[in-house]
Amino acid sequence: MGCTRVEMSFSGSLNVKQTSYAVLHLDKYNEDYLMLFPHCKVKGFLSGSLYPELGGTCQIISSTSFVLEINFSAKVSFQESEIASERQCTKQLTT
């Protein structure tokens, strides 16, 4: 189950802002996961070699109060592009 909404703009690269989520249920563990998606840019229009570049924060939130946060950042050099990510998993305190 999920929902997606996309806003696109062009400013030298195609900027794709996703206001999207997906819900995954694992029957084996009786757990639900809410997944929020990062933003994306499509670059390389001028060179004719298109490639995606993820940016921003993505979260996966479980029904057992765990939150996985993934921060995407691009490392671009003259001829190469690499997407780096930092991950952090925390447990939210319930009141």
**DSSP letters spanning 38-68:** PEEEEE-TTTT--EEEEEEEEEEEETTSEEE
Residue 23's beta-bridge partner residues?
Answer: 34
Give the model's pLDDT for residue 71. Answer: 84
Q: What's the CATH code, domain 2-91?
A: 2.40.160.120
pLDDT tens by residue, 47-94 = 788 877 777 888 888 998 888 888 877 666 555 556 566 777 777 655
Q: What angle do CA 78, 82, 86 make, to 5 degrees?
A: 140
